[in-house]
Amino acid sequence: MKIGSVFSIALHLTRLSIILFILWLTFGWKVRKARKALEKQLILQGMRKKDAKRISANYVKLKNDIMNALKAHF
């Protein structure tokens, strides 16, 4: 293999790793934001705060399930 090819592969793998890390951070942030918005809406509709937190915890569970599925795939 030529040195240029190895350098190109390393560059693309680094770029891919950075993009995946950014996606992971963004996904976690969006899930947290959606969870808080759901809790707020449920509380405004008259639900108890404890129950709203319990229901919105499903967002985190789904996020973890998706992340575990992706980890198992790769």
pLDDT at 32: 93
In order along its 74 residues, the chain shows pLDDT tens digits of 688 888 999 999 999 999 989 988 999 999 999 999 999 999 999 999 999 999 999 988 999 998 899 888 76
Counted domains in the chain: 1
Q: Domain range for residue 26?
A: 3-73
Q: Which of 36, 26, 25 is nearest to 59 (CA)?
A: 36
pLDDT at 1: 64
| 3-state class (DSSP) for residue 49 | helix
pLDDT at 73: 79
pLDDT at 2: 85
Task: Determine the Cα–Cα distance for residues 51 and 62; give it in Å rounded to an integer.
Answer: 18
User: Residues 6 or more apart from 38 whose CB is under 8 A from it?
Assistant: 52, 55, 56, 59
pLDDT at 10: 93
Residue 35 has a CB neighbour count (10 Å cut-off) of 19
